[in-house]
Structure formats: C-alpha cells, structure tokens
Structure 1
C-alpha cells in the first residue's frame, strides 16, 4: 500500500467539501476532483490506492470511469457513491470490480468504515493469479467439476470486496460452506463468522436474535443479549434462508445495511458495527419479491454478487469423490474397514438425482458404514429406498419430444422468443429455476438475472 492520498471524485461542491472535511478530520490525506477528466488526470499522476467515486458526473459515466481506473491499476479499491434511486447502477459497479458502495445520504462513520475496509483489503496479501489456483477447491469443498470450478473462482474474486453476496441453491448444496469459504478468503478471516438461520427462529424473536435486546425489554428477556450483528462486528454475518425473514424486520435490516447501525430491542441508543453481510436462500428470490414476501429494495441491496450452488446431480464425478471422502471419515469414526465403492455402486451414484444433494449423500454413506463392514461397499448394502429410487429412474425412458410448432413464434422478436422458452421451462419444472436451467444448459444465475431484468423493464411476454 502506498502513502498516496486517496482520491475523491464528486461534482457537487458542497458535498465534496463535506466529504473532504470528514476524511481530513480522520487524519487522511485526500485529493479532490469535480469531473471525470480531472479525476483521471490526478489518478494517473498521484497513483492513489483508494478512490471514492460519485456515479453521476457531468462529463462522463461513473461506471465507465471506474472501469478505466481499474484497467490502469487493477489493485485500486474503488468506493462508489450513488443516490437511492440508482442503486442498480451501484450494483452493476460492484459486479464490475468496485470494492463497496454507499447510498446517499450516509453518515460520517459509515463513510469512514468504507475507507477503513478498503485500506485493510489493500494490506492483505493478494491471491494467486494462477488459473489452476483460482479454480482449485476452497474451504471445505470437494470436487473439480466445471460447475464447482466456477464457484471457486467466484468465491476468490469476491472475497476481498465488501460487496454483499447472495447465495442461491437447493437445500443441501453447501450454501453455508460457500459463505464460510468467502469469509476465510477475505481480509476479515481473523474476525468472527456468525451464521443465523432466519427460517429456524420464530418471527417474534428474530429481531432480538439479529440486533440483540436489553434485559426486561419483553417477556422472557431475563438478561441482556448481544445480537448476531454485534457478535459479527469486525467479521462476517451470514443470514441463511433470508427470504423467510419477517417483512417488518426486513425494513430494519435495510436500514442497517445503509447505516451500519444497530439498535437492540429495548434501547434508544444505536451502535455502530463493521460487518460484511452474506445471505442465502433455497427459494427463487425474485418469486418471493413478486409475491410481496420480500422487499424489492432489500432484494436489490442484497443481490449484489450472486453465487449459485449447483445441485449434486450436475456435478458429474464429484459425487464419487465426496462419497469416498465421507466413507474414509465414517469408517475411521465407526472403526470399520471400508476402502471404496464397487463399480456398480459408483454407477448408481452417478445415475441418481440426489434431491437432498450432499446432505442426502452423507446420510446414505453413514447408513452403510454403521450397518455394514467390509472392504468395498456393494449395491446390496445401500438403503432399500435408494435402490428402489435407482430402479425407478433406470426404468423411466425419456418420452419422445414432439416437434415444436414454429408457426407460433412468427412475428415475435428474438428476445420475446427467449423469454417464452425460459418461462415455459420454469413452468414445466413447477417453478424450479435450477431445474429449468439444467434443461436449458445455462447457469441458474443467468435465468435469475434475466427474470430480474424483465421485472425491472415491466415488459410482458406476448
């Protein structure tokens, strides 16, 4: 990290003066610019490590300027500033490489936290650039399928940012493992990792679990309680099953994201915390927004960097690698002598749909190890319901597909045809985006992104 002043690019003179004063009071040297042209010139000469960039500049689009700055010096940490009505632009900037974004109006402490986080990221050692390393398993993950290599690469690319990561995937695919891997790879790895399952806590207790409470603030509050947000101060807060959160609490979570301030139940005194938010759901988040179960503004505030965890059935031979590791572990724990699986069992594992994903595979392997012993796991050792499921799948021949009626597509644009195909696939799979994505041979995140675009545009498929 250099000793160069940070660069503030803000075209409104009054705001520039305010931001500069805040930074200087904190002992930080700062250069200022009011236009993109001036900012670029100072950036080239001064070589700042941290840039605070307003997205709305009079002479150039802020996103374009940021991309040029990062092209000149990729290690620069850019904090973008946006108005509440243009959060989508800030999200776009985050996906293009910004370190963090702030929504106007923000307070001094939130501003300084963002600068502190950016400078801390600069002090952390840079990850290896080697492609093999970038796509190697991280955290507790096992497997080298193309789908998982994409996940590993995404984890490493987002870990050192402050961007909120929204993890989607079916139950049992490893969403919490993904969150833990992001935390361990980030510059917050020495801080706490706090996980909270929003779907497992009654709605009337969830606010207390997230933000804490004071003794006597409600019936049953027999002592002060520190909430998950405060417990994660300096580290990472993982909100699992975020779409199950009560709507009233969603409002408070949105405020927390905007201000970094928490207010425990029963107190009027707010508290600042420095927390990175990761969240996950096994539902289609856009569908919950459409149904009014999840706030749209909170969705766009959280859905900055999406990561989709692929189901086990789409991971090829990863299922064998995972099963073999589990077999060695359980055999050691249960004092058994298994060393591997028969070829027949491996073929069964490859054929199965695994609706419960890795969690189901773990239960199957543990069942075998507890109830049997030997050197190789054979098909007759597998649970009966698993063998029956494999028999049913093997007996089901794919139905012949009728030739499509292309006349119904006449007069439609390519975009309209694409939407019809995608929505038809999702409907055939009873609303399951991951299954529709598998059929269409695209990632589920692609379909989520397209549906998000359709909702924002308000266009209807005709």
Structure 2
C-alpha cells in the first residue's frame, strides 16, 4: 500500500500540471518546482488520466480547455474517483457561473488566466499546508484503495481490509457471508495471500457445483477400487491444501451426511480417503462462504448447528455494492481499463452523467453485474468515454423509475439479497442471535400518535404474509420481556402509559434505527435515505452502539441489545 504523499522529510508533494499550451505548462512547472515539489506535465486529457495512476499526484493544476477531453469531465472524475487529490482549476473562461460549477464538482481553488507567479506560488503553498495539516490530523491516512484483488475505499471496505490484516495468520476458521457477486472467493484468496506463515496451496471447492455423490471424494480423495470408476488413487482437496487454505464456497449446499464427516475433520484435522481405512492428518486452514443466511439454514435443518459453530469462528460479512458508496466507480474504472486493453478499444474514462447513473443504480448482481456491464459496453461502443446512453436499457429504466419513485428502490435490489434467496423473509432463530421483537400490543386511543389510525384499520389494509420476517418475529416474541418501545404493524410507536415504560431518547433512537434497517432487509443505505441521515453517519452510529454493547450485529440484520443496560448520564 502507498502512503499519502505529503511534504515531510524525504517525501515531496507530487504535482501534476495539465495544460495544453506548452509555454504555460513550462511556466507553471518552473514556479511549482521552486517549492520543493515533484512535478509532471500532461498536455492532453488522455495523458492526465494515465498519470493519475502511474504518478499518483497529490495536487492537480487543471486547465479546462483541453484538446481531447473536456476539463470539466476530468474534474468530475477526480472528484468522484480520486478523493485524495486536490484539484486547482486554471482557465481563461470568465463565465460567472463557472467557479461555482467547478467547486461543486470538487475543485479546491479556481484561478483565472493570466496567473502571475506570486499568485500561483501562494496557492500551491496554501494547498501544501492543507495536505500537511490533514496528514497530522488524520495520522497520514492510507490513500490506497487496493488490498489483494479488492478495489474500494469506502469505510465499510476499509474495515474489512483491517480485519483481514488482523486475522491473516490466525488458524481459526473464517465464515464469509454476502450476496452473490460480492467477492467471497476474492476475500478467501486475499486472506490466503496475506498469510505469511502458510506456504501451501489455495484450494477452492464450490459445494453447489459438484454432485453430492462425488463431493466426499473431491474433498478427501479416494483409493483405487473405492467405487465404480475409481481406477486409480486420487488425492483430495484437503491433502492438496496441506499447509495452506481450503475454501468451501456455498457451504450450505453440502449434503447433511457429508457435513458430519467435515465436522469430524475440523475437530481432529484427521480424515480417511474414500475406500481406505488409513487415517491421515493435515494442517489446513478452512474458510467457507455462503450467499444464504446460515442462521436460517440452521433453523430450517439444512445446515448442522454443531458444524455452524465450528466454522463460525471469525465471521466476515461482505456488503453489497449498493452500500459501498463511490467504490462502484473505482471498480468500474478498473474494469474499463482491463477490457479496453483486452478488446483493443480506446476507452479512457466514464462521463459524469454515466457515473451518476451508476451511483444511483442498486446493482442487484453486485460486482459481477458491474463487470459484465462494463465489458459489454466496451465491446458494443467506441471510446474514449462511456456515456450514460451507452449503459444497458434496464439500468437506465430502473434509475429513471427510482428518481421518480424513491419507494421503488427496493424492488430493483432483486431477490439476490441473502435474506431473500429462498423467496422468504425468514429471520434468524433467537438461539443464534435473532432479533427479539416485542409483540405488538393494542394501543389505547389516547396514547396514539396524533393523525394515526388504529392498528386494526391498517391490518385490514396490509396484513403480513405467513413466513414473513414480521410474522415470524412476532411469533417468536418473548412475552416476558421488559416493557418498552414496540412498533405496531401499522408502523406506529406505542407510547408509554406507566413510569417504568419510559425509555431514554437515546434508547428510542437506537431501537427505531435498528427496526428501520431490518425493515429495509438489512440495507443500511436505503435505511439512511428513508431516515434522512447520511449513510456514513449511520454506519458510525451503529459502530458506536455496537462498541458500547447496545446492539448486536448478526450478519446485516441487527437487534437491540438486551434490556436493562442504558447509557449512563455522564455518557
């Protein structure tokens, strides 16, 4: 990983000058070099885009009138995809609204030509001071957006990077959950590559792709004559992965009988090849993954509870792409460069319009869908820019519908959500940390929120289907729980009628927020939008509540912590 390039000790601030006029480019270079900086020049938009990755500048001096690519497009790309870069716009265009538009797209400062050396020198010095101050305040944050084959700089991904680095040399089993296309095998492979102690192979098995009749042989191997067609001894995946990592993808698809054999292997690190009586032992780290809800699979009897606890030592939940903020643009640019080179096309960047569409679309197929969209666009169109009209019609229609009807957002998330895989909104069983929902009680008319209707009126209009999250949670509710905040099916909060039912506003805020996330099928991004708060703010609030022990996190569904513990008055 590379560090933030600030002017400290031997490090120099890197400045990229983007100006098509050679005399002016030379002039800017001369002024900036006198400030103990490292400077590179670009005379076209294409050269500038290439140097953004190879030179990794801290500051960009950007002329808006370039011969090949509009400077405002480059400014937009910098603002959306290179957050750590500070951009100073220099232009001869004196339109009154241009500075405001440039600032909106991410410009730090705006200079109108002609610019004298003193003005430019002062601007650069002020910008360098800002970089140094930011580095001191933030502890010189890592600006890299890569870890292994991962790409992304969102907070939720940085948290995952940090977790992977902390557990890289552990021998504990890792259980990865996430929707299809979120990168579960990439996570397992990255964890294997980060391990500095294990030098063995990385062996991946997709439990859903191999017939159950040969799955045991695939994992443990077989000897000659073990079954019809076994004409020779065959080494299994556990032996191949000795000293390395065994990755079992879609673990919930494994046959129950084989699950018991896998459990014995995990307990003892010993196994027998099919058809053999000889016991062998290996040293293997096991990582498994599923796009289902493992808690619900245990509840349904599809996954052994004892095996679940054996594997669920270090859980890692991969967020869907729609919850990773601007990561979609970083990943899209990565695939754009890859497929432009592969298909011998002249694509360089993604337009501001197309970027906005990508940020609004929920990507039900996650990274895999984004990869396919970029690949098909590169094949079907000519560069140098991906525009909004080049994107698939289904994406354009979905975004248009979402803009007109924000409440339709969830339907475009699709059935890929790991909590909706089987077409049901099943919740986790209480024994495994399921949300404990207080059964709704009748609300006296005098205690109802003004302007609301009685629960019965709303139940008549909208009843919950059998098997839904609300129906199951209500059925599993603990009637002996302490009185507190409850939510009726109509969505109304039952107000307290006794002193011992009064909760702190912080309690109410926490419980209501968690309920909102659950109502959005675990989508923090959608919940934050409906609650009217920034998604980053919501993530931070959730982390604080989790650290304080007020909520427990079970995959993406969350529940209020057990009653009886409240923040102290001093906190």
> Shorter-chain TM-score category?
0.5 to 0.7
Write the distance in 2 (CA, Å) between the matches of 1:134 and 1:260: 41
- Once the 2 structures are TM-superposed, how far is the Cα of residue 291 of structure 1 from its aligned partner? 1.1
Q: Separation in 1 of the partners of 2:179 and 2:497?
A: 33
| Equivalent in 183, 186, 209 of residue 200 of structure 1 | 209
Distance 1:414 1:193, change over 3 A: farther
- Which of 431, 439, 446 does residue 527 from structure 2 map onto? 439
Of 296-305 and 133-142, the range deviating more from structure 2:
133-142
Relative to structure 1, is the Cα distance of residues 181 and 133 closer, same or farther in structure 2, using a 3 angstrom cutoff? Answer: farther
Q: 1:375 — aligned with what?
A: 384
- Assess, with a 3 A threshold, how the Cα gap between structure 1 residues 266 and 408 changes in structure 2: closer, same or farther: farther
Higher helix share: 1
Cα distance change, pair 216–420 in 1 and its aligned pair in 2 (3 A): farther
TM-score for both structures, normalised by structure 2: 0.51
> Which blocks of at least 5 consecutive residues in structure 1 are unaligned?
1-129, 458-462
**1:258 & 1:224 partners in 2: Cα distance?**
25
Residue in structure 1 matched with residue 264 of structure 2 by the alignment = 255
Q: Counterparts of 2:503 and 2:234 in 1: how far apart (Å)?
A: 56
Give the conservation status (yes or no) of the 8 Å contact 1:137–1:149. no
Q: Distance in 1 between matches of 2:352 and 2:319?
A: 25
Residue of 181, 188, 198 corresponding to 2:190: 181
Q: 1:416-455, aligned counterparts within 5 Å?
A: 428=519, 432=521, 434-435=522-523, 439=527, 441=538, 442=542, 446-448=552-554
Q: Distance in 2 between matches of 1:205 and 1:390?
A: 45
Aligned equivalent of 2:445 = none
Decide whether aligned partners of structure 1 residues 419 and 232 sit closer, same or farther in structure 2, where only a CA change above 3 A counts: farther
Calculate the TM-score normalised by the size of structure 1.
Answer: 0.63
Seen in structure 2, the aligned counterparts of structure 1 residues 264 and 409 have a Cα distance that, compared at 3 Å, is farther
How far apart are the structure 2 equivalents of 1:237 and 1:134? 32
In 1: Cα distance, 2:370 partner to 2:556 partner: 32
Shift in alpha-carbon separation, 1:305–1:406, aligned structure 2, 3 A: same
CA distance in 1, matches of 2:350, 2:524: 32
Is 1:386 matched with 2:395?
A: yes
Matches within 5 A, 1:127-206: 132=141, 137-206=146-215
Would you identify which runs of 4 or more consecutive aligned residues in structure 1 move more than 4 Å? Answer: 130-136, 408-429, 440-446, 449-454
The change in CA–CA distance for 1:418 and 1:221 in structure 2 (over 3 A counts) is farther
2:236 to 215, 218, 227: 227
Q: Deviations over 1:142-201 (max 9, x none)?
A: 111001000000000000111111111111111111111111111345310001111111
Partner in structure 2 of residue 344 of structure 1: 353
Q: Are residues 419 and 303 of structure 1, via their aligned partners in 2, closer, same or farther at CA, if it must alter by over 3 Å?
A: farther
In 2, distance between residues paired with 1:435 and 1:450?
A: 8
Q: Which has the higher contact order (CA 8 A, sep 6+)?
A: 1
Gaps of 5+ in 2: 1-138, 409-451, 453-489, 529-537, 563-571
* 1:287 and 2:375 are equivalent in the alignment: no
Determine the structure 1 residue equivalent to 2:494. Answer: 406
Quickly say closer, same or farther: Cα 1:452–1:380, change in 2 above 3 A: closer
State the Cα distance separating 1:366 from its structure 2 match: 0.3
**Counterparts of 1:160 and 1:302, CA distance in 2:** 17
